[in-house]
Amino acid sequence: MIKFFRNIRRSHINEGKTSKYLKYAVGEIILVVIGILIALQINNWNENRKKRQVELNYLERLIIDLRDNEKLLSEFHDIKQKQLEAANIFLNFSFSKNKDSVFNVMPYFNSIFSWQDININQVTFNEMVSSGNLDLITNDSIKIKLLELNKQYNSILIIQDKEKESHDRLLFPPINEKFNMRYIMALEPSKEKEINRTFTGSEKGFYLNEFKKELLELIENQTFMNGVTVVQSSADVIMKEYLKAQQQVIDLQKLINVELNNND
C-alpha cells in the first residue's frame, strides 16, 4: 500500500502537481501511523493475555492452598476443642476430694501435654508478594480478601507463639520433674514386648501405685495447674480465630471460583 502511494507521489512530482503530492504524502504518513498503532495494540493485547494467564495460574494455585488451609483450620479447631475439654476435666478433678478417681483424668492427659504447631500454607501468596506479582490480581475484592486473610493468619500465629511459650514454661517442666515415664513400661503390655521384659502382678501393682502418686503430685503442682488454666482460658480465644479464618477462606474460594469460571 505504501509503495502504491509512493509511486503516485512520484508521478505527481514529475507532473508538477504539488498539492496532490502533499495529499498523498499525508496519506502515506497516516498509513504508517495506523500501522504502528495496530502493532502496538497487538503487542499490548499479547502482553495482557500473558499477564492474565499468569494471574489465572496464581488463582488456581491459591484455591489449592485455601483448600489445604480450610481442612487444617478445622483439624486444629478440633484439637483445641479436645484441649479445652481436657483442661476442664483436670480443673474439675483438682477441686475434687475423691482423689482415688485420679485415673479418670488419664485419657485426657495427652491432649493437655502434647503440642503441635499449625503450619498454614501461604506458599502461593508469599511468592506473589515477594515477586511483586500481587498486583496481577485484577479483581480488587480478591486482592483485599487475600490481604485480610493474611492478617488473620498472622493473628493466629501470634496467639500460637504465646500459647507455646506458656506450654513450654508451665506444663513441660513439672511433667518432666514429677513423672517417671519408665513406669508406663510396666503398665502397658505393648511396652513389655518392646523392652522384652515381663512384669509380675505385684510389680505392676507397685508401679501403678507409684504412677498414681506422681499423677496426684502433678495435679497438686501449682505451675502445672497454672498451665492447665492457661490452656482452658486461651482455647476458646484461638478457636474463635480459627473459625473466623475458616470463614474467610471459604468466602475467598467462592470469589476466586467465580473469577475462574468467568474466564471460561
State the pTM of this model: 0.79
pLDDT at 136: 93
pLDDT tens string 11-26:
554 555 555 555 556 6
Taking the C-alpha atoms of residue 81 and residue 79, their distance in angstroms, rounded to an integer, is: 5
pLDDT tens string 166-195:
999 999 999 888 888 888 788 788 887 888
- Of the two residues 151 and 178, the one the predictor is more confident about is 151
Taking the C-alpha atoms of residue 251 and residue 177, their distance in angstroms, rounded to an integer, is: 47
Closest C-alpha to 12, from 1, 27, 28, 23: 23
- HSE-up (13 A, CA, CB side) for residue 211: 18
Q: Which of 30-39, 75-84, 236-245 has the lowest mean pLDDT?
A: 30-39
- Per the prediction, the chain carries an average pLDDT of 86
Using pLDDT thresholds of 50, 70 and 90, give the confidence band for residue 10: low
Closest C-alpha to 221, from 166, 162, 187, 172: 172
pLDDT at 20: 55
Taking the C-alpha atoms of residue 136 and residue 150, their distance in angstroms, rounded to an integer, is: 17
Share of the chain above pLDDT 90, in %: 57
pLDDT tens string 83-124:
999 999 999 999 988 888 888 898 898 898 889 999 999 999
